[in-house]
Amino acid sequence: MSIQWFPGHMNAARKEAAKTMEVIDVVIEVLDARMPGTSCNAIIEELRLHRRRPCLKILNKADLADPAVTQAWLDWYNRQPDVKAVALSCHQAGQAAKVPGLCQTLAPHRNSTAKPLRMLIMGIPNVGKSTLMNALLKRRVAPVGNEPAVTKSQQRHVLNDHMTLTDSPGMAWPKIERPVVGLMLAAIHAIGRNAVVDEEVAEFLAATLLSRYPALLTSRYGFAVEGLDGAGILEAVARKRGCLRKGQGGTLDREKAARILLEDYRNGALGRTSLETPQTHEALLTL
């Protein structure tokens, strides 16, 4: 299955972002720490490089990611010019408070009431941009939901007398070239429900976790994983959790099992996992 999702408002958001890029100093790109490469939007990179804007890469939801893999990603991003990377959890206000100071180091010449530091928050849907905005302003100014594309337009706020902050809508890209990329984005719920089939996404996720973190599957669901593939994992979850279709002679309800697996992954119940490393991501780009 090839997943495609690009709601109409995103094209307008891209044009608006291009205009805003002219009058800001630092781009804050929020990524998902479980897949920092795949959740990085090439359109955002193109826009900021065109305007020569430095970037703070925030590997958000770091509390859900494999710490060793996250460190590898930090090293990878911090080797790039005009880029600083940090791993944190935006829902923790104390960690989010580090962000303005990190941005300041990328634009030290903007640090006064006459020349305030102007920051723009960007990223794909559902990675935590609005949560970061609310944490920095210490009040709820941006809608937050467990669905992608909650924010539909830019919001600009004064952070203090020498810093401003603009939050932008989540922005995907018009065409997902590689099916595996669509599946990975769907696994972290960065794509609208109407564009995906949960069973297919969950089967892909199960196969990935089986290859990378088999012990976590056993620990969570209580069954041995030897000899299973992604489909087998999904069926085993269905049996273990009693997911049966009513009136169909005890047929396994794979759809219900898929929702259980996806929710357990998204909320961290499976443990700290990362679905890609810098090396596997670069290999993916050559496919």
pLDDT value at 287 more than 80: no
The number of distinct structural domains making up the chain is 2
For residue 13, the Cα-to-chain-centroid distance in whole angstroms is: 18
Mean pLDDT of the chain: 91
| CATH number of the CATH domain containing 93 | 3.40.50.300
pLDDT value at 11 more than 90: no
Helix axes 254-266, 179-187, angle to 10 degrees: 70
Q: Where a domain ends, among 167, 183, 214? A: 167
Q: Can you say whether the dihedral through the CA atoms of 235, 239, 245, 251 is positive or negative?
A: positive
The beta strand positions in the chain, using DSSP E, are 26-32, 55-60, 83-87, 117-122, 155-160, 163-167
One domain for residues 44 and 157:
yes
Show the domain range for 213: 197-285
One domain for residues 29 and 142:
yes
One domain for residues 157 and 277:
no
One domain for residues 133 and 220:
no
Domain contains 231: yes
pLDDT value at 1 more than 80: no
One domain for residues 201 and 267:
yes
Domain contains 190: no
The beta strand positions in 138-213, using DSSP E, are 155-160, 163-167
One domain for residues 213 and 75:
no
pLDDT value at 49 more than 80: yes
Residue with token string 């992604």: 230
pLDDT level of residue 147 (50, 70, 90 thresholds): low
What pTM was estimated for this model as a whole? Answer: 0.92
Around Cβ 93, how many Cβ atoms within 10 Å? 12
Find the mean pLDDT for residues 37-60. Answer: 96
> H helices of 188-229, where?
198-212, 214-221
One domain for residues 234 and 152:
no
One domain for residues 28 and 158:
yes
The pLDDT tens digits of the residues spanning 232-252 come to: 999 999 999 999 887 766 799
The pLDDT tens digits of the residues spanning 71-121 come to: 999 999 999 999 999 999 988 878 999 999 999 999 999 999 999 999 999
One domain for residues 215 and 136:
no
Q: Is 186 exposed, middle or buried (0-12, 13-18, 19+ CB in 10 A)?
A: buried
One domain for residues 133 and 261:
no
Beta bridge partner(s), residue 149? none
The pLDDT tens digits of the residues spanning 158-188 come to: 999 999 999 888 888 889 989 999 999 999 9
The pLDDT tens digits of the residues spanning 195-241 come to: 899 999 999 999 999 999 999 999 999 999 999 999 999 999 999 99
Domain contains 3: no
One domain for residues 159 and 222:
no
User: Please, are residues 154 and 12 in contact by the beta-carbon 8 Å criterion?
Assistant: no
